[in-house]
Amino acid sequence: METVKISDSSLKSGNVDLDGAGNPKRIWEPLNFQRNEFRLLQPLYVSTNSGEQVIDALVINFALNDPPPYVALSYAWGNGEARFKIMLNGVPHLITDHLRQALLVLLAQGKTHVWVDALCIRQDDPDEKASQVQRMATVFQEAETVIIWLGVGSSQ
């Protein structure tokens, strides 16, 4: 049995949830660097909960040299306040409004695999962040499409 340490900040940020047996669920499975892995987001569907649209998605490890076709997303953070819920591998997680808007559009367009740094790189792991940030150029080069999201346009 693996022991997983849960920090107070993880609990507050929604990065940890418990399964039916009281064990912590994981959003991010460890990357296998021997296989040159990275993660992709697989948006599944949007549900409405108390008037709020909640995206349900999987975060899946893939070998970078043999991934499915994917979209790499670069987006403006907006005010940076993470206050919208997304379900990642069954675990609630908070994202910014700009990221939520971009994901809703990509889901509506039928995009099945998306790379976005805020969700595909474990942000609370400095070692992983450092190693994955070094690979970002490759991640963008290997993407089928790169989308730069600046926000929802105005009709005015």
Q: Could you report the per-residue pLDDT of 56-69, keeping only the tens digit for each?
A: 999 999 999 999 99
Kindly state whether residue 2 falls inside one of the protein's structural domains. Answer: no
pLDDT greater at residue 138 or residue 76: 138
Closest of 121, 129, 47, 35 to residue 90, by C-alpha = 47
Kindly state whether residue 154 falls inside one of the protein's structural domains. Answer: no
Q: What is the pLDDT of residue 19?
A: 57
Q: What is the pLDDT of residue 51?
A: 77
Instruction: Report the C-alpha gap between 133 and 55 in whole angstroms.
Output: 25
Kindly state whether residue 99 falls inside one of the protein's structural domains. Answer: yes
Kindly state whether residue 1 falls inside one of the protein's structural domains. Answer: no
Instruction: Report the C-alpha gap between 51 and 94 in whole angstroms.
Output: 17
Q: What is the pLDDT of residue 2?
A: 29
**CA-CA-CA-CA torsion sign (57, 72, 79, 123):** positive
Kindly state whether residue 3 falls inside one of the protein's structural domains. Answer: no
Kindly state whether residue 128 falls inside one of the protein's structural domains. Answer: yes
Q: 3-class SS at 76? A: coil
> Per residue in 95-112, pLDDT tens?
998 899 999 999 999 999
Where in the sequence is the domain holding 37, given as residue range(s)?
Answer: 8-149
Indicate the number of domains in the chain.
Answer: 1
The kind and range of the H/E element at 93 are: strand 91-96
Answer whether residue 1 shows pLDDT above 50. no
Q: What is the pLDDT of residue 20?
A: 59
